[in-house]
Structure 1
Amino acid sequence: MRFKKLDLNLLVALDHMIELRSVSAAADKMFMSQSAMSNALTRLRDYFDDPLLVQVGRRMEVTPRAESMRLAIRDILVRIEATIDSQPEFRPEESTRTFNLLLSDYSLRVLMPTVFRLIDSQSSTIKLNLRAQTELPQVLLERGEIDLLISPEMFISDDHPASLLYQDNYVVAAWAGGKYGNVTMDQKMYETASHAVMVPPNAAKSYESALLALAGIERQIDVKTFSFTNLPHLITGTDRVATIHARLAKLVAQQAELVTYPIPADLPPLRQMLQWHAYRENDPGIIWLRGLLEQAVAELD
């Protein structure tokens, strides 16, 4: 299809090249040969009378003209994708649609087993692609690469609709057979104990770390890991403690031989939000999946 003599298929190629800053990587993502993608770039350069991507050292950088078009191109493509994906009626028992969800390993462990059970109880034929949490999850939502985002309230976008999925609190977890197996956990003990913590990708600060910092709490951190769900098991058999979600602690307390204590600080609860792109507000498939997630939370509660 052409618009003002521009092949609109070239916009998809340009979108990928701008995002990836690479002709070869864009070709791989679109299942094209590198020569075909290079040809697409040549045609785009001729049309816009601009190089669009230029070689700088070992990598490519976008020109000011390409950068000025980046958001508009992505917005057009997301709007088109949303229009195509949205059907007047959604039948989960007949649909083979793939939904992309972005969530943490904590939500994966606490919530998703119930979601999968509900999907099977409805004889649904949908597919789910569960993607790991990233430092800037709202970017993937903006790009239309995920359908739903499950994330703490502080990490969601102000530009798209969202709803509260559930709340949780943090607790101090310790091995029942260790030094902190039967104590009164006060702030001094909490701060001087040896802690195991989860550190998100790119060394970003986790939500509970941000809350503790705001409360003026400093921890003695001796172990860092990439996963919330392995924290309880890492402290079993040791004198370390971990700050974990109460829902997660309840699930693994017996298996990991844990005791839990309230955090010795006045922390607000974790508000776990569900967010979707504004263009998919009335998408029957997204509405159905949102309802399914809310039903799963109701069963957990």
Structure 2
Amino acid sequence: MDFHGIDLNLLVAFDALMKERNVTRAATQVGVSQPAMSAALSRLRILLGDPLFQRSSAGLTPTARARDLASPIAAALRQIESAMLSQPDFQPEMASITFKLGLQDYPTLVLLPALLEALEQTMPGIALNVLAYNDRNDAVDLLDAGAIDVAIGVSPINTDARILTRPLMRDEFVTIVSSDSPAARQAMDLNTYLGLQHVLVSPEGKLHGLVDQALAQQGKSRKLALTLPQLFAVPAVVARTSMAATILKRVALHAQASHRLTLFAPPLALPDIVFHLIWHRRSDHHPAQLWFRNFIAQQSEVLSSASADEDII
């Protein structure tokens, strides 16, 4: 017998016919139409050179050849099903694998060092390949293309069921000034705030952000002295100038220049920013990917607990 090009669905059809002894019920079990099941039976008869089933008052009666084949085919299908569905446990301590991680600026600065520290201590065989992205919707394109396994950033605006997310980190805005600046010794009310020169972080090069939108709702605006595409440089710039910046709290706390900064609560209402873990549905149940996502979430929780008690003025 030539098995080249054999359709595994024929064996599934045979197994269903043996169980149901009825073409219509077998078709329902498999999820095909009755004509499709009849066609499968015809192909099986040609392939195996046997009628396989005879019509009788009790339904389809299997031939001797069909009875001989029933147990081996059923066992083979169960073995194939088991092989396809079962996945070995992932053992990170023993693994040698590289995860592809897409990061916006904030998690690169705040979370990535903690991830690497934890991996280095107990899982030296695991490496990270980091790809930076700015626009929140770029994460979807990177996941679709398989360029990354997981993204960490602000949740994409438009997604469908193939993109999954879970909240990972929440942070609040603070206003920072140099501790040597006269502004560090004043109350940071709105008048003081508007009297300062400001730094704006804008990866897209725009001249307004959340702060400017909030001020515009009050009919006010601030003076921008510098617009930067990079988040990392802001604390160092502020520490060496009389400028102010309104950035996320952990960015200020994790900066090398943090000891030279004074942190204030902004004198206007600003929303917290939530960063999400973002992945593709196709990797949702993969053991290694599941472990990696849980590992990131655990390190994020540790980081959040460690910085929760930092005070601002």
* TM-score, normalized by the shorter chain, greater than 0.5: yes
- The one-character-per-residue Cα deviations of 1:249-289 (angstroms, maximum 9, x if unpaired) are 22337645000111112222111111100111111111111
What runs of 5+ residues in structure 2 fail to find an aligned partner? Answer: 6-83, 306-313
Kept in 2, the 8 Å contact 1:232–1:256? The answer is no
Following superposition, the deviation at residue 205 of structure 1 comes to 7.9
Distance in structure 2 (CA, Å) of the matches to 1:115 and 1:108: 10
Q: Cα gap change, 1:205/1:124 in structure 2, threshold over 3 Å: closer, same or farther?
A: farther
Given candidates 222, 225, 238, the residue that maps to 2:225 is: 222
Q: Cα gap change, 1:97/1:218 in structure 2, threshold over 3 Å: closer, same or farther?
A: farther
Q: Cα gap change, 1:204/1:282 in structure 2, threshold over 3 Å: closer, same or farther?
A: farther
Aligned to 2:192: 189
Q: TM-score, normalised by structure 2?
A: 0.62
The 3-state SS of whatever aligns with 1:197 is strand
The 3-state SS of whatever aligns with 2:188 is coil
Aligned to 1:118: 118
Kept in 2, the 8 Å contact 1:215–1:267? The answer is no
Aligned to 1:132: 132
Q: Cα gap change, 1:144/1:248 in structure 2, threshold over 3 Å: closer, same or farther?
A: same
Aligned to 1:143: 145
Aligned to 2:286: 283
The 3-state SS of whatever aligns with 2:194 is helix
- The one-character-per-residue Cα deviations of 1:94-141 (angstroms, maximum 9, x if unpaired) are 333221111123211211111112112322412211111232322212
Aligned to 1:97: 97
Q: Which amino acid aligns with 2:224?
A: I
Kept in 2, the 8 Å contact 1:233–1:256? The answer is no
Distance in structure 2 (CA, Å) of the matches to 1:89 and 1:103: 27
The 3-state SS of whatever aligns with 1:203 is coil
Distance in structure 1 (CA, Å) of the matches to 2:214 and 2:149: 32
Distance in structure 2 (CA, Å) of the matches to 1:104 and 1:205: 20
Aligned to 2:11: none
Given candidates 141, 157, 160, the residue that maps to 2:159 is: 157
Kept in 2, the 8 Å contact 1:163–1:275? The answer is yes
Aligned to 2:251: 248
Deviates more, 1:134-143 or 1:284-293: 134-143
Q: Which amino acid aligns with 2:270?
A: L
Kept in 1, the 8 Å contact 2:177–2:244? The answer is yes
Distance in structure 1 (CA, Å) of the matches to 2:207 and 2:273: 15
Aligned to 2:268: 265
Distance in structure 2 (CA, Å) of the matches to 1:156 and 1:173: 33
The 3-state SS of whatever aligns with 2:255 is helix
Q: Cα gap change, 1:204/1:127 in structure 2, threshold over 3 Å: closer, same or farther?
A: farther
Aligned to 2:63: none
Aligned to 1:167: 170
Q: Cα gap change, 1:97/1:117 in structure 2, threshold over 3 Å: closer, same or farther?
A: same
Q: Which amino acid aligns with 1:277?
A: H
Q: Cα gap change, 1:260/1:130 in structure 2, threshold over 3 Å: closer, same or farther?
A: same
Identity %: 25
Q: TM-score, normalised by structure 1?
A: 0.64
Q: Cα gap change, 1:255/1:261 in structure 2, threshold over 3 Å: closer, same or farther?
A: closer
Q: Cα gap change, 1:111/1:163 in structure 2, threshold over 3 Å: closer, same or farther?
A: same
Distance in structure 1 (CA, Å) of the matches to 2:210 and 2:158: 15
What runs of 5+ residues in structure 1 fail to find an aligned partner? Answer: 4-83
Deviates more, 1:256-265 or 1:88-97: 88-97
Q: CA RMSD in A?
A: 2.7
The 3-state SS of whatever aligns with 1:297 is helix
Distance in structure 1 (CA, Å) of the matches to 2:173 and 2:232: 14
Look at both structures and tell me which one has the larger radius of gyration over its CA atoms: 2
The 3-state SS of whatever aligns with 1:296 is helix
